[in-house]
Structure 1
Amino acid sequence: MAGSDVILLDFWPSMFGMRVRIALAEKGIKYEYREQDLQNKSALLLEMNPIHKKIPVLIHKGKAINESNIIVQYIDETWNDKSPLMPSDPYARAQARFWADYVDKKVYDASKKIWVFTGEEQEKGKKEFIEIMKVLEGQIGDKPYFMGESFGYADISLVTFYSWFYTCETLGNFSIEKECPKLIAWAKRCMQRESVSKSLPDSKKIYEFWNDMKSKLGHEHVPEVENFGSFHVWFSTG
């Protein structure tokens, strides 16, 4: 595999891939980006992630690292000479991992219910989503970032979902800012960082992508979350 020492296999709307892009940008790492067609997975993707067969995959010197939060930790530990993403204190590091894990286990599944369902099921998903956002907002509180004064690992785990907030709000007919103003203030603060603003696609472009996917899949298939075909597979990686 000739070329760059660092290669990222990714798909542009993936909130999980965005995490890796932010971490690489924070560290100033040059890399080769390879957009993946997840309806026709490349031989390289299947070779480098044979277990899950999903993006993102970071390839560093020919070796693959999978799962976005694991990749972000790997980037922080490997390029540790600038822009630390994890706190230096062991307890604070444990807390950062806890909140990143909370995001992984809660946010995607709740937001998916808003995208996929309508009616009563969507309302349940919306209520669940708002409750989760309020928990996260409580952790941020009046601090600039999750763990205090410095942008880092826990912030990266959540901020990429911000690009999908407009889609959630439009489909669910609600305002996240009205429900969680401090959370949105935090997200806007993160967006002032070049690493974030250049890694997150425009939110309306995400919404257009969703509508295009929904049209291709057909409205009759949308409620079938467990059988949601390629779209479900694209974003179910952590």
Structure 2
Amino acid sequence: MAGRVVLHGTGASPYSKGVELALKVKGVEYEFAEENLTNKSEALLRYNPVHKKVPVLVHDGVPIAESLVIIEYIDETWKEGPRLLPQDPYERAKVRFWAGFLRQQFYVAMASVIKTDGEAQERAVKEVHEQLKVLEEGIKGSYPRGSPFINGDNMGLLDIIVLPILGAHKVLEEVLGAKFLDPEKYPRVTSWVKALTELPLVKEATLPHEKLVGLLQFLRARALESAAA
């Protein structure tokens, strides 16, 4: 489907990064409008007046907000590209369930590690490992034979959601001083993430390690300052 596509987002947001990956997988040409979340643009406030957050996809002047909603919109609108969700209703329901788990529980737990220190951070790290155990068990048997993708032959919704956070696990471990992906404890999750990060499309979209380290250090310092204020 033709039409101008503009993504309002920020490079620091895993939610924005997920939408970018979805657009790239589907082969959709788009413009990226970088937002300053401390000084939000009039366009962002107009397009997403309820939450006033990124990402927002604007397709032919029509805005769509909330990253999971946007990704499903992309999948349904550009049908000629690889499918991001399975065709089978039951398989699609399972993908939506685990997408909700990653966003509502795992992302929240990881964000707590970034925003805390001391004993609070230790508790948050423990919670992340509890969530990793759940994810490890949950994806058992999900891989089609010979494929690194849970969705089949191409990257799908769960791949797109897990990459922005666990794809940068080495950055997280360096900045936060905690180990997350352990191939002995979480062999399926570790293999899944490793296969995804080696894809040319993913490498092309990933910022250099040093830049990601600096960005996370900045975000963590700002979060700790806000918590102490």
Post-superposition offset of 1:219: 4.7
Aligned length: 220
Kept in 2: contact 1:166–1:207 (CA 8 A): no
Kindly indicate whether residue 164 of structure 2 is the aligned counterpart of residue 160 of structure 1. Answer: yes
Classify 1:61/1:214 alpha carbon distance in 2 versus 1 (closer, same or farther; 3 Å).
same
Post-superposition offset of 1:13: 1.7
In the alignment, what sits opposite 1:48?
A: 47
| Structure 2, unpaired ranges of 5+ | none
Kindly indicate whether residue 183 of structure 2 is the aligned counterpart of residue 184 of structure 1. Answer: no
In the alignment, what sits opposite 1:193?
A: 199
Classify 1:147/1:210 alpha carbon distance in 2 versus 1 (closer, same or farther; 3 Å).
same
Mapping 1:70-219, distance limit 5 Å: 70-141=69-140, 143=143, 144-148=148-152, 150-170=154-174, 171-178=176-183, 179-215=185-221, 217=222, 219=224
CA distance in 1 between partners of 2:72 and 2:49 (Å): 21
Post-superposition offset of 1:15: 0.6
Helix, strand or coil at the partner of 1:25: helix
The structure with higher relative contact order (CA 8 Å, sep 6+) is: 1
Q: In structure 2, what residue type is equivalent to 1:196?
A: V
Post-superposition offset of 1:222: 4.1
In the alignment, what sits opposite 1:221?
A: 226
Kept in 1: contact 2:167–2:193 (CA 8 A): no
Kept in 1: contact 2:48–2:65 (CA 8 A): yes
Post-superposition offset of 1:127: 0.9
CA distance in 2 between partners of 1:218 and 1:136 (Å): 27
Q: In structure 1, what residue type is equivalent to 2:178?
A: N
TM-score normalized by the length of structure 2: 0.87
Deviations 1:141-195 (A, max 9, x none): 3623334554311221212112442343231422422542321211121123333
CA distance in 1 between partners of 2:223 and 2:66 (Å): 30
- Cα RMSD between the aligned structures? 2.1
CA distance in 2 between partners of 1:192 and 1:43 (Å): 38
Quote the sequence identity (%): 35
Post-superposition offset of 1:210: 2.2
Helix, strand or coil at the partner of 1:85: coil
Classify 1:201/1:177 alpha carbon distance in 2 versus 1 (closer, same or farther; 3 Å).
farther
TM-score normalized by the length of structure 1: 0.84
| Structure 1, unpaired ranges of 5+ | 225-238
Q: In structure 2, what residue type is equivalent to 1:186?
A: W
